[in-house]
Amino acid sequence: MERKEKLMTRDFIAVNAMIFLAYTNLAVFFNLEHHLHTLLIDPRWIGFLISIFSLSGIILRPLISPFLFPANSRRWIVVSTLMDIGALLAYSLASTFWPMLAVRLVHGGAYVCMTAAKMALLVAFIPPGRSGQAFGITSACMLLPFAVIPPLLTPLG
């Protein structure tokens, strides 16, 4: 019988907790459209402002992914998390189109760098032969915030 290496290590759990928190960050923005309608932004641009976050990720991820490895991912995680925090704080300052566009672009770029670096780090903690189980757990950590956070925030809104 083949010996299976342990999957649920402290490092694997820690990286998945960081992934869960990153996706929680994103799930908080389910009510962004409502918020944008309260600002001095032409309603015709709201869909664009919402989508630019994902568009920045679609453009940036293929450019940065070849440079991400477990060995350098911690640095990418720290820098992109600091940028993400800065972008989150900047939302309160952006009340018109151009500042909000800048915030959404920086937030999207920081977010994609952060999550891509976490995935690069995660693979270092997956034993051979356990990748299916590992990515099942990680997928749950990515999806759970979208099931839990919006209903929690609705009463607070």
- Tens of pLDDT along 43-52? 999 999 999 9
> d(Cα 117, Cα 57) in Å, to the nearest integer?
13
Q: What is the pTM of this model?
A: 0.91
- How confident is residue 1, by pLDDT bands cut at 50, 70 and 90? very low
| Residue 130: predicted pLDDT | 95
Print the SS3 string covering the chain. Answer: CCCCCCCCCHHHHHHHHHHHHHHHHHHHHHHHHHHHHCCECCHHHHHHHHHHHHHHHHHHHHHHHHHCCHHHHHHHHHHHHHHHHHHHHHHHHCCEHHHHHHHHHHHHHHHHHHHHHHHHHHHHHCCCCCHHHHHHHHHHHHHHHHHHHHHHHHHHC
Write out pLDDT tens, residues 74-119. Answer: 999 999 999 999 999 999 999 999 999 999 999 999 999 999 999 9
